[in-house]
Structures are given as C-alpha cells and as structure tokens.
Amino acid sequence: MKAQKFWPWLIVTLGAAYFLIPLLATFIFSLRMRRNEYTFDAYVSVFSDPKFYATFGYSLSVGVFTIIVGIFVVVPAVYFVRLRMPWLRPFMEFVTLLPLVIPALVLVYGYVRLYGSSSLIPFTGSILGTDILLTCAYVMLAMPYMYRAVDNGMRTIDIGTLTEAAQIMGASQVQIIGNIILPNILVAILSGAFLTFAIVIGEFTIASLLNRPAFGPYLVGIGTNRAYEPAALAIISFIITWGAMGMINVLGRFAPRTSARTD
Amino acid sequence: MSASNANRRIHWDSLAVFPFVLFAVMFLFLPTLSLLGAAFTDREGNFTFENIADLFTDQIMAAYWISIRVSGASAILGALIGLAITLAIIRGKLPAGFRSAVMTFSGVASNFAGVPLAFAFIASIGRIGLVTIILRDVFGFDLYRAGFSLFSFWGLTLTYLYFQIPLMMLTIAPAIDGLKKEWNEAAQTLGASPWQFWRYVGLPILWPSFLGTLSLLFANAFGAIATAWALTGSNLNIVTVLLYNQIRGDALQNPGLGAALAVGMILITSFANVIYLVVAARAERWMK
C-alpha cells in the first residue's frame, strides 16, 4: 500500500512546488520594496495610481458589455438550433472552435485592415467605434467558452417540453426565452460570464493594438517602468482570477441536476 | 399548422440565429478572408505569390521555428506532466477532497496567463527574482551564470507550462474518469501487472484524448503573445512578436508580407487542429 502511494505523492508534491513557488516568491518579492523590511508599499503604490482605477474600470465596463452582447448572440442561437435547426449544429461547433485555432493576434490584424478609418465600416474611425470593435473582438475571443457553457446548460433542461408548455399557455417567443429558458440556464450563463470576465480583464494584445486604455496595456507599461509594483499587480490579478473561478465553483452547486428526457 | 404560421416560425428562427451568423461573418470569416486575399496581393493590387515566397527569409523562418519549438515543447511537456498529475490525483488514492481543490486551482492557473504570469516569473526566476537570489546566496548556484535565462527558449517554455499543465489536467480529467474500475479489476483477475494494464488498456484508451489535447495546447501556445511580450519585450524573435510589430508599424515594410505571415500562422495552427478533429472523431467512435 505504501509503495503504491509513493509515486502519486511524489508527482503531486513536485507539481505543487512548480505551481506554488512562483506565487510565494512573487508575493514575498512584492513586499520588499523598502530595503531590509517587509511592507505593503508596492500595493499602496499600485492602489494610489489613478491610472490603475481608470484602466481597470475601462476593462471592467468593456467586460460587462462583452458579457451582455455574448449572451444576446449565443443564447437565442443555441436555443433555436437545439430546438428546430439541429442541422446548423456542426456549423456552430465549427465557428466556436475557430477562435481557438485562429490566434487573436491574427484576427485583430484582420479587423484593423477591414474596419480601418477609410473602410466601408470604419469602426476604428472614432473612439466609440473602436470601443464597439474591441467589445465585439472580446465576444469572439470568449465565444468558445460562452457557447460551451450555454450549450451544457441547455443540455440539462428539457427545452422542448418547456417550450411546448409555455406555448400552450400562450407565451410569445420573447417571453419563452426571457422568462422560461434564461432563468433555467442562469447558472450556466453566469459561469460563462465569469470565465469571459477572467479572459477579458487583463487582455493585452487586442486592446493594445486598438490603442484603448485597458488594464492589460497598463500592466505592460508598469512592467517596463517599475520593479516591485508588477509583482504586486501579479498577486492582485491572481486574486481576481481566483475570485472569478471561485464564483463559477460556487454557482455550480446551484446548477439544476435533472437531466433532459430527450437530447 | 397554416402556411403563414410556418413562415413566421422560420422568420423567428432565422432572426434568433442571425446575430450569431453575423458575428461569425464579420469577426471571423471576413477578417480571415481579407488576410488571405492580402497575402496573395502585391502593392499594385495584382495577384502574386511574391509575399509567400518572401516568407522564406532567415529572420521569418527563424521566428516560425522558435515559435514552433516553444509551442511544441510546452505542449508535449505540459501534456505529459499534466497527465501524470491528473492520474496521480484521480487514480492515486489520495485523500478525498484533494481532487476538487487541485481542479479548482487548475481552473485559476489555466486562466492566469498573459502579462501577470510574466510578472510572477520575473519576480521568481528573473535576474533579481527571489528564487534566483536564494539559489545564489544560500545554495551558491548562479542560475544565470549556468546559462539559464528567462528570456530564452527554455525560460519561455517553463513559463508557458504554468498554463499548459492545468489546461491539460482540465481537459484530460473526464477521459481518465471514463476509465472504468471494472477494466482494472478484469485485467488484475487475468493476472495483468499494473504496468501491463496501462500499457495494453489504460493508455491506448487515453491516447486519442491525449493527442487531441496536445494539439489544443500547441495552438494555445503558438498564438500566445502577451506573456512573451511582457517577459522579453520585442527581444525574442517569435512569430507573434514579429506580427505584433508588423501590425503596430509595418515592421516588415510590406503589408502583403505581414498578411502572408498571419496566413502562415493560421496554416500551422489549423494543421495541429485538423489532427485534433480527426483524432477526436476516431475517439468518439471508439467510446461508443
């Protein structure tokens, strides 16, 4: 029995060392801003920078819009394809797999070329337009995760029966989606939303290439100019990511356990 | 059901799917096609293979090659290590509750990528990182004099593993759960050693999922830029950094060449994912 447990423990211990040492080292490093003393000075410095709040607030609001647009794009599509147009499913699977295949950097290159200020749809011609383009780019970036979350959510409820029942009661299509389907897959949607949030909040590539004052480009700027603040920001980012993932875990406990009669 | 009713239903259905299709066209298909077109167009707007041919210069080929090596190494190591840890956790009879804690951590770590990850590794094993200093002052071992650099192939690979291993663990765990206990018992009853069980039963069943995740990890690392950018600035000549500079300020001084560079990236990640799709299709047939 002992020998059987030796290898698992060794592997897990080595793995834990690889994952925990950088976190611990970063945390201790972030406390050493002042010589020969452990202080939270680096954190004070981060939290007293108005640009921290400005960029974080910007990314936060783009994240919220990304989630809202993502829900509007994904939920009705998944619902109707599951219910009436199953032949479109392979297309949806393909589309939602593509953002994992085509690097975001390549897509944003396409956007810049296609939607430049002198093009037919000049997204990047105005600040509002660029913000919209950034939001849409993030919706695409988070699409694989949002789609899978919503699709899993709909698999666990019997949307066919729910829809028929609602129709017999005289509900309209909008009512069915808004009042019946949405509340039933709320947990799944929120999981997708928090995952989207975790992806968007520190995103660097697209935001920096579209020249928007987001949190990711701000982080890179701090990284080139400061020594201890980046370590503090890494810890803060880790806590934010932990928070978003923790929310998904907590929400998972509220997910409906009944499975659909038909799939 | 009357004809007008059926019509209205079709109208409704397409209206609901329309935003999704519009998004796919505007933010996925058209941008990709536009790059594809630009890759085969010269400055005067004529069709040309010149841009593709121009990719075969030392600088660009070196960039592709480093990217492929870093992505390949971090994918293979990430997949192997991730598999070992997941097997240890699920099949290693470790204390209950351990698994959910590790999987939650994996969810966090797989999303803890980009710029903050680079910061964490700079603070740990950068030139003045804590681990570097401790190794030097306490153990008398100078990492950087021994030839290590965070801003090199191995440095980047080591950093990428931080999100590659957890991603492997999250995707392979369901496949390992699929290994039924009965198979193990049946093998034991027939006198198979644990080694024989894994060699002839366990690993052949896990193999398709393993390969599939491997290609996913490869594409994941190949398209990554934020971590590399924050680690090395524009020092390391990987293909994403090259393309980033091209988008910023036409660093290659030829828009067509930039588009060709991007198309080359898509080709490489698609190749990895075609393998994934073929293997996944085979795996599904297997599992039925």
ipTM of the complex: 0.87
User: How many angstroms separate the CA atoms of A203 and A104, rounded?
Assistant: 10
Structure tokens belonging to residue A4: 């059987």
pLDDT at A92: 92
Query: Is the pLDDT at A57 greater than 80, yes or no?
Result: yes
Strand partners, B47: B41
Question: What's the domain range around B23?
Answer: 1-39
Whether residues B27 and B121 fall in one domain: no
Instruction: Say if the Cβ atoms of B117 and A98 lie within 8 Å.
Output: no
Instruction: Say if the Cβ atoms of A209 and B240 lie within 8 Å.
Output: no
Asked if the C-beta of B188 comes within 8 angstroms of chain A's C-beta atoms, the answer is no
Whether residues B128 and B179 fall in one domain: yes
Q: Lowest-confidence range among A16-30, A133-147, B137-151?
A: B137-151
SS3 label, residue B185: helix
Query: Is the pLDDT at A178 greater than 90, yes or no?
Result: no
Whether residues B159 and B254 fall in one domain: yes
Tell me the pLDDT of chain B (288 aa) as tens digits: 444 555 555 666 678 889 999 999 999 999 999 999 999 988 888 888 888 888 898 889 999 999 999 999 999 999 999 999 999 998 887 887 888 889 889 989 998 888 999 999 999 998 888 999 999 988 888 888 888 888 888 999 999 999 999 999 999 998 888 888 888 888 888 988 888 888 888 888 888 888 888 988 999 999 999 998 888 776 788 999 999 988 988 777 788 899 999 999 999 998 888 877 777 677 666 555
Domain-located, residue B208: yes
With bands split at pLDDT 50, 70 and 90, how would you rate the model's confidence at A262? very low
SS3 label, residue B47: strand
Task: Give the domain CATH number at B153.
Answer: 1.10.3720.10
pLDDT at B193: 86
Domain-located, residue B50: no
What pTM was computed for the model? 0.89
With bands split at pLDDT 50, 70 and 90, how would you rate the model's confidence at A209? very high
Domain-located, residue A4: no
Whether residues B157 and B228 fall in one domain: yes
Domain-located, residue A14: no
Whether residues B195 and B243 fall in one domain: yes
Over residues A76-89, the pLDDT tens digits come to 999 989 888 889 99
User: How many angstroms separate the CA atoms of A56 and A50, rounded?
Assistant: 10
Averaged pLDDT of chain A: 89
pLDDT at A58: 96
Asked if the C-beta of B243 comes within 8 angstroms of chain A's C-beta atoms, the answer is yes
With bands split at pLDDT 50, 70 and 90, how would you rate the model's confidence at A1? very low
Domain-located, residue A138: yes
Domain-located, residue B8: yes
Whether residues B33 and B68 fall in one domain: no
Domain-located, residue A69: yes
Residues 50-79 of A with CB under 8 A from B: 72-74, 76-77, 79
Whether residues B177 and B281 fall in one domain: yes
Residues 86-115 of B with CB under 8 A from A: 87-89, 91-94, 102, 104-105, 107-109, 111-112, 114-115
Domain-located, residue B145: yes
With bands split at pLDDT 50, 70 and 90, how would you rate the model's confidence at A204? very high
Whether residues B34 and B120 fall in one domain: no
Domain-located, residue A191: yes
Whether residues B165 and B26 fall in one domain: no
Domain count, chain B: 2
Structure tokens belonging to residue B228: 């590399």
Question: What's the domain range around A115?
Answer: 51-252
Whether residues B268 and B187 fall in one domain: yes
Q: How far, in Å, are A96, A99, B273 from residue B213 at the CA level? A: 17, 16, 10
Domain count, chain A: 1
Task: Give the domain CATH number at A188.
Answer: 1.10.3720.10
Asked if the C-beta of B160 comes within 8 angstroms of chain A's C-beta atoms, the answer is no
